[in-house]
Homo-oligomer: A and B are copies of this chain.
Amino acid sequence: MATRKKHAAFRAAFQGDPGAFSHKAAMDLLGPEVVVEPRQRFEDVFEALRDGDADAAVIPIENTLHGSVHENYDHLLQFDFRIVAETNVRIVHNLIAAPGVRFKDVKRAFSHPVALNQCLDFFKSNPQIQREPFYDTAGSVKMVMSEGLKDAAAIASAVSAEIYGAKILKRSIEDDRQNFTRFFLLRRVDQAPLVLNMQGKKGWKTSLVFTIRNQPGSLFKALSAFALRELSMIKIESRPLRGKPWEYLFYVDFLGNTDEERVQRALSHLQELADMLRVLGCYRV
């Protein structure tokens, strides 16, 4: 309880309605009492942190089915924040309805189309339930509750059922259980370090972005900065720079702390080879 209380008045901005999977990530990172600052767009989330309307931002950065969220990498380059922690959330979809509504009453299920499409086996086995597209997973729970629907349910996170006082009729109705989203916790550079729950975390990870001109072997040379110092790369991804043919942006995560001498040498070696290099953060894993 002591660590939770520390963050009791702590405001986290994220994209989506309360109960969204980003909210779940914020709770995992900052404790269940985190104060939510929901925003419509990712850009609004970054602006909330910049303008001091939030004490931290929680953003999805990659998903096991859908890949990296390039848009958020773009915002990370545009705003000068630090990644201070990461968490992985398993995307579990639940059938959620107002208290008193029974499974056999449910004729319609509202949710974001992406979530509906991740529960096709459920709909195949329950052809009496009509799929109804809605804005947002958590928002569909909010709507089903506020409209007092008796023949409808929503598909969303367990957290959203709790928040809106709804009941879970069926847990984990998603087709694929290997659906995880990785979230970053962001803070401004001028903010004091956070005390976070680091249970089970022993190592450090550093995330960075760099650009190099595309010449044969240029990436190979850049990666030598890590390989020659036996630093383990955890992620690498290239992205063409639009409007700059043959220039590439690379996202790299490796195991190590920027306080270590070999990491500092690797970064200064990479700096020699890259046109642009930005360390986005160094955090526990």
Q: Which A residues have a C-beta under 8 Å from some C-beta of B?
A: 40-41, 62-71, 112-114, 116-117, 120, 131, 133-136, 178, 180, 214-217, 219-221, 223-224, 226-227, 230-238, 240, 242-243
CB-CB under 8 A from A131, the residues of chain B are 135
In angstroms, Cα B241 to Cα A178, docked, is 10
In angstroms, Cα B24 to Cα A11, docked, is 44
In angstroms, Cα B180 to Cα A70, docked, is 12
> Which residue of chain B is the closest to A74 with respect to CB atoms?
B65
- With contacts A66-B67, A113-B136, A236-B238 taken as known, whether A216 is within 8 angstroms of B220 at the C-beta atoms is no
Closest Cβ of chain B to A155, distance in Å, is 14
Q: Are A67 and B70 in touch, CB under 8 angstroms?
A: yes
**Neighbour of A237 across the interface among B114, B214, B237, CB < 8 A:** B237
9 residue pairs from A and B, CB less than 8 Å apart:
A64-B242, A67-B237, A68-B68, A112-B113, A112-B133, A113-B135, A116-B135, A214-B233, A220-B226
**Neighbour of A223 across the interface among B70, B215, B219, CB < 8 A:** B219
CB-CB under 8 A from A136, the residues of chain B are 113
In angstroms, Cα B217 to Cα A133, docked, is 47
